[in-house]
Every structure is written in C-alpha cells, then in structure tokens.
C-alpha cells in the first residue's frame, strides 16, 4: 500500500496528513494561526513563518502517531513548495525534504493550488476531465482539470480573489477576520435585496472575475448605514452579489466547455470559499438543471490542509513523478508550470 505524508505550510495553517492511494485518510492534523493574525485583520507573513517553525514538528509528529507509522514506513513525502508566503514554504519544504532524506524515500514538490484542484478526487470518484472553480483567499479561477499534470485555466480574477473580497468587506463592517465565515453567518440575518450592488464583469463573455469594484461599492454604501441592521442588510446584499456572479460565470464556463467539446465528468469547487453554503447551493442548482454532477470536498478539506497535499503526492507518485531535494520553493507557481 502506498502511504504518502503531506506537509502544508503555504499560508496560515500548518498541516500534516498521511493518505493512501486507496483514498484512506490515516491522519489529518491542522494547526490554524487565526488567533495569531486576528488582531491584525489579516495574515502577517513574518508571524506566519514563525508560527510554522514553532509548530511543524509537533503537527508532523502527531500526524505520524495518528497514522501509527514510523517515517521509514512511508512511501514518499510531499511538501508544499508554492505558491504562497515564502517564509512558510521554506519551513515546510525543508522539513519535508529532511524526512525524505533521513528515511531514504522520494520527495514530491507539491503545488498548493493543484492540490486544491485534485482534492475532490480524494473523497469522490471523479474522472478526468472536470471543470473546477478554485475559490480561496488567494485564488479565484476556472480550470479544466484534464489529469494530475494537465490544467487548462480558462478564467481568473483580474484583481482581488473572492476570499480576499470577503475578508475586506468583513473588515469594512468592523466584524474581524477571517471574513468568509462571518459574512456568511451575518448575511442569514439580513435582506439581500436591500442594497443595489454591482455584479462585476457579468455583461461580458469573459470568464475572468473582478471583485475590487464590488468591495468599493460596499464601502460607499456603508456611509449610508445608520444602524447595525443596515450593516447586516449590506452584508446580505454583498453575499447575494457574490453568489450571482459565481452563478453567471459557471453558466458561461459550461458554455465554453461545450464549445470546446470537453466532455465533463463533473463540476467541482474547492478552496476555502467552497465552504460558503449559499454559494454551494446555488452552484449545485445550476448543475442539477443541466444534469451535471456537482462535487465539493468536505468543509474540513476546503481550507488548507495536509491531506490534499498528501493526495496530490499520491497522484504524482502513481504517475512516476519524483523531485530532486534541491527543488526550490517559490511564492508564484501557476497551474501546470514546472518550477526549476
């Protein structure tokens, strides 16, 4: 049996997990740094790197203990090498390489966004190709996933990611960090039709996204808010605008795939924003109307975690992919691009 240790440290979660090629998650340990960054309203790179350094040995040790494995019993180690905050990437990738070297097993350099893209295959029997919406704090794009090494990006954000928009709006409303869960919770208490907000880039054929203008519209509307209920209604209107944009773009993405004669096995959404229930429900409806399968990883696997890195490692290992221990981490690493 193939047993892969995955180590994730690209942003503000330190994660380690052991996964098999049979999709068994033997362990999945995550240390979240939200407490360290909350007072700053966002992730501070220097603090994130320090927290990874302080916690990574404990997290990896716990993951191995939960899996009841010694390092020598592992088949390979996958470590996130990008994209992300370079300090955290250095900490995690060096730790992964050290285990691989000491145990005499292969090292696999993991691309963080590719791991998100493939994570749905860890919990679902999804065949290639499938259409993916990657929606997180750092990314927002449409991708046709053709194999574990072939990704065709057909649309991306031109400014803020959708997760970044949630964080900034929550901060504008004075509700703290992280913004996604807060906005979703508060929007349930408000009137989503109260404020007229724009649906950026929804009158164009482009699959690209833009959220900076929507955030600015919220900032302007906030000046007219006099009560807490006004703010809650504004929050609900923002949530509804985001969902409307995603629904419009999904319909357009499906048209593009049809025009390209891509026979999709499913439509998937991954990344931290995939945990947003109103968005999930709306996109599910689009797929149901078209008779398409809609797949979303469990909420525990939507945010950054070691299991998705381990699964990417399992996919790569079975495709005979190995990487040199000199493989350097990089803060930028697009889908499908090989790092030297």
Dump pLDDT digits (tens) for 118-170: 999 999 999 999 999 999 888 899 999 999 999 999 999 999 999 999 999 99
Nearest to 17, CA basis, from 148, 101, 110: 110
Question: Over 70: is that where the pLDDT of 227 sits?
Answer: yes
Distances in Å between the Cα of 234 and the Cα atoms of 101, 189, 211, 219, 284 are 53, 11, 16, 10, 25
User: 3-118+301-318 and 128-296 share one CATH topology?
Assistant: yes
Which helix H or strand E contains 180, and what residues bound it?
Answer: helix 179-187
Domain 128-296 carries which CATH code? Answer: 3.30.420.40
Top pLDDT among 38 and 89 is at 89
Per-residue model confidence (pLDDT) at position 338: 62
Per-residue model confidence (pLDDT) at position 100: 98
The structural domains of the chain, with segments of one domain joined by +, span 3-118+301-318, 128-296
Bridge partners of residue 108, in order along the sequence:
78
For residue 337, what pLDDT band results from cuts at 50, 70 and 90?
A: low
Per-residue model confidence (pLDDT) at position 38: 83
Which helix H or strand E contains 241, and what residues bound it?
Answer: helix 228-259
pTM, rounded to two decimals: 0.94
Token pair recorded at residue 35: 């407490």
Per-residue model confidence (pLDDT) at position 340: 47
Domain 3-118+301-318 carries which CATH code? Answer: 3.30.420.40
DSSP state string for 130-178: EEEEEESSS-EEEEEE-SSS-EEEEEEBSSS-HHHHHHHHHHHTT--S-
């Amino acid at each position: 049996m193939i047993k892969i240790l995955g180590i994730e440290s690209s942003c503000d979660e330190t994660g380690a997990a052991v996964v098999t090629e049979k999709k068994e998650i033997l362990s999945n340990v995550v240390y979240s740094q939200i407490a360290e960054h909350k007072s700053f309203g966002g992730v501070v790179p220097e603090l994130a790197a320090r927290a990874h350094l302080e916690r990574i040995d404990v997290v990896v040790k716990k993951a191995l203990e939960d899996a009841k494995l010694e390092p020598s019993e592992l088949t390979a180690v996958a470590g996130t090498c990008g994209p992300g905050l370079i300090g955290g990437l250095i900490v995690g990738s060096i730790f992964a390489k050290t285990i691989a070297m000491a145990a005499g097993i292969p090292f696999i350099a993991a691309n963080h966004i590719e791991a998100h893209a493939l994570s749905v295959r860890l919990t679902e029997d999804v065949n290639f190709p499938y259409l993916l919406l990657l929606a997180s704090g750092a990314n927002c794009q449409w991708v046709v996933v053709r194999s574990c090494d072939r990704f065709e990006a057909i649309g991306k954000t031109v400014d803020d990611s959708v997760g970044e928009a949630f964080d900034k709006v929550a901060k504008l409303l004075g509700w703290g960090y992280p913004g996604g869960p807060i906005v979703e919770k508060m929007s349930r208490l408000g009137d989503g039709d109260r404020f007229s907000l724009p649906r950026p880039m929804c009158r164009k054929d482009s699959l690209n996204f833009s959220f900076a203008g929507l955030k600015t519209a919220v900032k302007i509307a906030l000046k007219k808010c006099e009560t807490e209920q006004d703010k809650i209604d504004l929050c609900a209107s923002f949530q509804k605008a985001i969902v409307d944009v995603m629904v419009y773009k999904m319909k357009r993405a499906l048209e593009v795939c049809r025009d390209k004669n891509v026979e999709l096995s499913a439509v998937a959404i991954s990344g931290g924003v995939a945990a947003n229930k109103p968005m999930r429900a709306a996109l599910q409806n689009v797929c149901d109307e078209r008779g398409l399968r809609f797949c979303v990883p469990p909420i525990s696997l939507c945010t950054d975690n070691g299991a998705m890195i381990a699964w990417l490692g399992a996919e790569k290992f079975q495709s005979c992919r190995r990487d040199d221990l000199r493989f350097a981490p990089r803060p930028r690493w697009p889908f499908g691009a090989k790092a030297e």
